[in-house]
A and B are shown apart, each in its own frame.
Chain A
Amino acid sequence: MKINSPLEVYQYLPQTNCKECGEPTCMAFASHLIDRSIKLEDCKPILEDAYKEKYQELNELMAPEIAEVTIGVGEHVVTVGGDDVMYRHQLTFFNPPAFALDVWDTMSQSDLIERVTYIRDFKKFYVGRFLTLDMIAIRSVSGDPDTFKQAVTLVMEHTQLPLVLCSLDPAVLQAGLEVAAEKKPLLYAATKDNWQGVYDLAIEYNVPVVLFAPDDLDTLKSLAVTFLENGYKDLILDPGTNPQGRSLRDSFENFLMIRRAGIKEGQNDVAFPLMAVPMTAYMTNDDPVSASYWETVLCGVFTVRYGDIMILHSIEPYALLPEMHIRDTVYTDPRTPVKVDSRVYKVGSPDKDSPVFVTTNFALTFYTVESDLASNEINCHLLAVDTDGLGVEAAVAGGQLNGKNIADDFKKGNFDFSNKTNHNTVIIPGLAARLQGDLEDNSGLNVMVGPPDSGRIPGWMEKNWPVEG
């Protein structure tokens, strides 16, 4: 972003405070534009002809430092790049790195279908949503255009996920494009040797392209400048991912240097998303577990430091789970804890004998507890206290979870114990044990202390529920 204060943005807005965007004033809208929590297009008036110039100017000024590149079409479209800062605490990072899992054109049909289906369907629940994989990278190992084309066709029959077509031979890439072009795949890759052919394909089929110059930033930049000068800007840069030793360090440095040049120094001709290829781990490790571990490690390194799209091989859950989690870790917005609505939730179909539990509205806490209850088929009510998105211990330590606000949040949720239960009892987390007396005083309820970990609730219930009384 070439602009960094709401005041500057304000100059370009209609300044009528018409509220159409849902903000009270144009100035408020401007400050949301700066933190990128709203889109310029949400201001309908500025899209009118009268403001055309201002709109265009502002749009340009507000463009993220690192270009955004879109791959695929429709529901599964993937956008990469778009960052404005070097460190996540300075704003937040945008567009988590896209994970492309590989298949190759020498696989048997049945293996290929099985692998694609697995990748397509892999998911892990985390704070209210599923973490999933984004793309399929199809590698031409055969080197034969027809074989490649068949593989691409077969993949497309089994998934809508966007594709990366991988070959250094333009004829092979073209064969893939002939069947996949309308899905806007990513071309991998243009190099110093084949770039003219790949350039032609990119233009002809209107698809984004990766420029690949291992260990040679001058050449990488030359490729970028050449494509740009010839009017082509849907680019992703791959400076090479060396899997080990000192050359791995060199690769790491290359990522840092390119990103610093793009964000800190505004060097537009390298301000593109970066591709890392952790799968090079398989070029040095023979044993599959070591290779998978090492690939996961490389994925971690380049997720933290500036990789925007990655090609991965291992489909072992012990690789995919940490990879998806580290990506979520780095790309979650540090400005706002992930919260759920504060209210009384029903788990299963509770009746008057069912227990009533208390937890917080920190999404991680809430979903952990809720899934523990649901998967153990415990019918109950569960109050998510508004703790500003803090977990149990932090909220007890900081005072956001206390007897009074638990009682208040039950009231706000219109939860009347005398008519919703016949036991007048509430169960608090073990880690909030010290609130027991306080809550009794504030609510007049019978307060029980549950186990410290919600995973132990079933065992605890066996001993303590139904409540004696």
Chain B
Amino acid sequence: MTKKITLSKLNDLLKDMEVEALEGVTIEGDIELEMDAIGGLNPQLAYLLGQETAQIAGHLINISQLLGYPVDQLLGKPLIDDSKRVAQPKELIPSTFKVNKMEEWTNEIQEVTLGASSSDGGTRKSIITLGGENALPYYFDSPMPHRNHITMDVFDMPIGMAKAVKSNYEDVMDSPAEWAKKNVKEFGADMVTIHLISTDPNIKDTSAKEAAETVADVLQAVDVPIVIGGSGNPEKDPEVLEKAAEIAQGERVLLASASLNLDYERIAAAAKQYGHVVLSWTQLEINAQKELNRKLMKQCNVNREDIIMDPTTAALGYGLDYAYTNMERIRLAGLIGDDELNFPMSSGTTNAWGARESWMINSPLKEDSDWGPREYRGPIWEIITGLTLALAGNDLFMMMHPASVAVLKEITKSLHGSHARNPVDISNWITTKVL
């Protein structure tokens, strides 16, 4: 089908069409064109124009190119791959989706149990097991035997905290035992952490013996497993934790923490002697974490099933990128075979309350949009900090706000697959009516 057409005629032909791409291309003279097969025409244009004019346009483009007009740029890159262009598709091409499981993840994360029941020499009614998985959290490669757990903070003296948090504890601040009870009964804590911060010589310098009594009170008040935390003072902590370990003999508490900047041998020895688990704490450094774990195992003879790691939590917006990646790297290393890193992990998620966004009334910056009510900002800051680390492989969360605990529990259980709720038909979410 060869046709002849003159350029002037062609101009007329195209005049009424919306061919933006050809705008500004003026053609003079009366050359005769031979119209044959489409050859080289951008099929997108062909489609826009309809076949016959498309042929004409194709030639027009060729000529314009010959004249040095940058038609290509005007047309943009062709969307449709010529060679593939077929007629109007009528049927879906059937396909099956398949993907392989991770073969590299051969190493299991160590299972660690917290709390001991009467049959095991303790008095706990609930026992918690962490670890045991062979994949990143909630991945389909292999089942995750244990869900994430949450331990809620109790302090051995009233302390300053964000208003949103404090309002939940004002009635129990003076009694660690009552505080612990409230955490479990009202807020659904899986565990409680008693922080013996008053033992710090710069705070109250409470004696190790007195602190141990507080621990005994908490053990009396609740029947969930507990974490015992020192004040963070590297000189005093070994002594405090030794006494606490002694009074909690047989309960399989988590001793927080052994770190490289204090006498970790004493803490490890106390854990061994009284049947507890050691929290191995380092600061955002994978090699330091390996080193400390190795020392605990080789030098202090702590059993593998008695170690949990805290690689440090930095808050959302304040270093969470480091904390997240550090944990993810640690977990991946453990899964592919690093036996110095395949332990369950714990996060001091409460660090989120250090972020200004979680507690300041307003943004300090005039240019910012309004930050809205802080009562809602704080808890979600804690949730997102925890959730991000849950996805990186963190197992145990030390938390503070009851709402944060409830939501983090629900999302981690949902991802874990242990939170049944009715499915929702999302196929037409577009028309959802919301206020």
Listed in ascending order, the chain A residues whose CB lies under 8 Å from chain B are: 87-89, 121-126, 130, 139-141, 143, 166-168, 188, 191-192, 195-196, 199-200, 203-204, 206, 214, 217-226, 228-234, 240-249, 252-253, 256-258, 260-261, 265, 267, 269-270, 277, 279-280, 282-284, 288-289, 291, 293-294, 296-297, 300-301, 304-305, 313, 316-319, 321-322, 325-326, 328-330, 332, 334, 364, 371-372, 375, 391, 455
Report chain A residues within 8 Å CB of B434.
282, 291, 313
- Bound-state CA distance A311–B66 (Å) is 47
Report chain A residues within 8 Å CB of B370.
317
Kindly report which residue of chain A lies nearest to residue B101, judged by CB atoms.
Answer: A260
Whether B422 sits at the interface, judged by CB under 8 Å, is yes
Docked-complex contact A199 and B377, CB < 8 angstroms: no
Docked-complex contact B377 and A265, CB < 8 angstroms: no
Report chain A residues within 8 Å CB of B88.
196, 200
Contact flag A329-B407 (CB < 8 Å), given A140-B430, A229-B84, A301-B391: no
Shortest C-beta distance, A435 to chain B (Å), equals: 19
Report chain B residues within 8 Å CB of A248.
414-415
Mask for B410-435, Cβ within 8 A of A = 1, else 0? 01001111011111101111111111
- Bound-state CA distance A87–B391 (Å) is 12
Shortest C-beta distance, A215 to chain B (Å), equals: 8
- Bound-state CA distance A188–B429 (Å) is 11
Docked-complex contact A229 and B432, CB < 8 angstroms: no
- Bound-state CA distance A86–B373 (Å) is 36
Docked-complex contact A195 and B92, CB < 8 angstroms: yes
Shortest C-beta distance, A316 to chain B (Å), equals: 6
Contact flag A225-B93 (CB < 8 Å), given A123-B369, A282-B432: yes
Report chain A residues within 8 Å CB of B272.
none
- Bound-state CA distance A328–B84 (Å) is 39
A224-B95, A226-B93 known, 13 other contacts, Cβ within 8 Å: A88-B328, A222-B94, A230-B86, A241-B426, A244-B414, A248-B414, A257-B140, A282-B432, A283-B424, A304-B324, A313-B434, A319-B380, A326-B384
- Bound-state CA distance A9–B357 (Å) is 45
Query: Per a CB cutoff under 8 Å, which of B44, B139, B317 touches A329?
Result: B317
In residues 332-359 of chain B, which contact A (Cβ within 8 Å)?
Answer: 332, 356-357
Report chain B residues within 8 Å CB of A226.
89, 91-93
Contact flag A203-B411 (CB < 8 Å), given A141-B433, A252-B138: no
Docked-complex contact A229 and B419, CB < 8 angstroms: no
Docked-complex contact A249 and B426, CB < 8 angstroms: no
Docked-complex contact A230 and B84, CB < 8 angstroms: yes
Docked-complex contact A297 and B383, CB < 8 angstroms: yes
Whether B80 sits at the interface, judged by CB under 8 Å, is yes
Query: Per a CB cutoff under 8 Å, which of B328, B381, B387, B419 touches A301?
Result: B387
Whether B316 sits at the interface, judged by CB under 8 Å, is yes
Contact flag A225-B95 (CB < 8 Å), given A141-B433, A188-B430, A321-B377: yes
- Bound-state CA distance A465–B324 (Å) is 41
Contact flag A329-B414 (CB < 8 Å), given A195-B92, A293-B383, A375-B365: no
Whether B159 sits at the interface, judged by CB under 8 Å, is no
Whether B48 sits at the interface, judged by CB under 8 Å, is yes
- Bound-state CA distance A278–B11 (Å) is 52
Report chain A residues within 8 Å CB of B81.
231, 233
- Bound-state CA distance A11–B172 (Å) is 71
Query: Per a CB cutoff under 8 Å, which of B92, B357, B414 touches A192?
Result: B92
Residue of B383, B411, B428 ringed by the most chain A CB atoms within 10 A: B411
Mask for B305-332, Cβ within 8 A of A = 1, else 0? 0000000000011111100110011001
Report chain A residues within 8 Å CB of B233.
none
Docked-complex contact B417 and A242, CB < 8 angstroms: no
Report chain B residues within 8 Å CB of A261.
97-99
Report chain B residues within 8 Å CB of A203.
44, 47, 79-80
Docked-complex contact B92 and A222, CB < 8 angstroms: yes
Docked-complex contact A334 and B426, CB < 8 angstroms: no
Between A and B, 17 residue pairs with Cβ closer than 8 Å are A166-B430, A199-B89, A222-B94, A224-B95, A229-B84, A230-B89, A244-B414, A246-B419, A258-B99, A267-B99, A277-B426, A280-B432, A282-B434, A301-B387, A325-B316, A325-B317, A329-B317
Docked-complex contact A246 and B99, CB < 8 angstroms: no
Query: Per a CB cutoff under 8 Å, which of A217, A231, A279, A318 touches B372?
Result: A318
Docked-complex contact A317 and B140, CB < 8 angstroms: no
Report chain B residues within 8 Å CB of A206.
44, 76, 79
- Bound-state CA distance A283–B368 (Å) is 31
Docked-complex contact A232 and B79, CB < 8 angstroms: yes
Residue of B319, B419, B429 ringed by the most chain A CB atoms within 10 A: B429
Docked-complex contact B426 and A141, CB < 8 angstroms: no
Docked-complex contact A326 and B426, CB < 8 angstroms: no
Whether B388 sits at the interface, judged by CB under 8 Å, is yes
Docked-complex contact B430 and A229, CB < 8 angstroms: no
- Bound-state CA distance A326–B325 (Å) is 13
Report chain B residues within 8 Å CB of A122.
369
Contact flag A123-B368 (CB < 8 Å), given A168-B428, A322-B380, A329-B317: yes
- Bound-state CA distance A320–B272 (Å) is 47
Report chain B residues within 8 Å CB of A291.
434
Report chain A residues within 8 Å CB of B204.
none
- Bound-state CA distance A258–B392 (Å) is 19
Kindly report which residue of chain A lies nearest to residue B364, judged by CB atoms.
Answer: A375
Report chain B residues within 8 Å CB of A224.
95
Report chain B residues within 8 Å CB of A221.
95-97
Whether B100 sits at the interface, judged by CB under 8 Å, is yes
Contact flag A455-B426 (CB < 8 Å), given A217-B97, A261-B99: no
Docked-complex contact B332 and A87, CB < 8 angstroms: yes
Docked-complex contact B415 and A168, CB < 8 angstroms: no
Docked-complex contact A123 and B96, CB < 8 angstroms: no
Kindly report which residue of chain A lies nearest to residue B325, judged by CB atoms.
Answer: A89
Query: Per a CB cutoff under 8 Å, which of B82, B384, B435 touches A300?
Result: B384
Mask for B5-27, Cβ within 8 A of A = 1, else 0? 00000000000000000000000
Docked-complex contact B100 and A125, CB < 8 angstroms: no
Shortest C-beta distance, B356 to chain A (Å), equals: 7
Docked-complex contact B414 and A245, CB < 8 angstroms: yes
Report chain B residues within 8 Å CB of A260.
99-100
Docked-complex contact A88 and B325, CB < 8 angstroms: yes
Report chain B residues within 8 Å CB of A220.
97
